[in-house]
């Protein structure tokens, strides 16, 4: 049995209009809003931004 080959043109991870919210007390805080991304195999990807911009939140979503 052989594993199926990945199509390098097709993303292995894809998200559209991603939104992450946290509830703090009785209010909602939007940490990430409206992010579209596609991670393709055989490519090198980076996530860059200022401190507190939501990089870790996006990576963990």
Contact indicator for 39, 46 with CB cutoff of 8 Å: no
- Residue 35: how many CB atoms within 10 A of its CB? 15
pLDDT of amino acid 56: 94
Domain ranges of the chain: 7-41
pLDDT of amino acid 42: 85
pLDDT of amino acid 16: 97
Indicate the pTM of the whole model.
0.68
Element (H, E) at 38: strand 27-39
pLDDT tens profile 1-51? 665 666 777 899 999 999 999 999 999 999 999 999 999 988 899 999 999
């Amino acid at each position: 049995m052989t594993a199926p080959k990945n199509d390098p043109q097709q993303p292995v991870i894809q998200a559209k209009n991603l939104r992450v919210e946290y509830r703090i007390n009785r209010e909602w805080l939007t940490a990430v809003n409206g992010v579209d991304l596609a991670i393709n195999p055989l490519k090198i990807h980076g996530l860059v931004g200022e401190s507190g911009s939501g990089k870790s939140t996006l990576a963990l979503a």
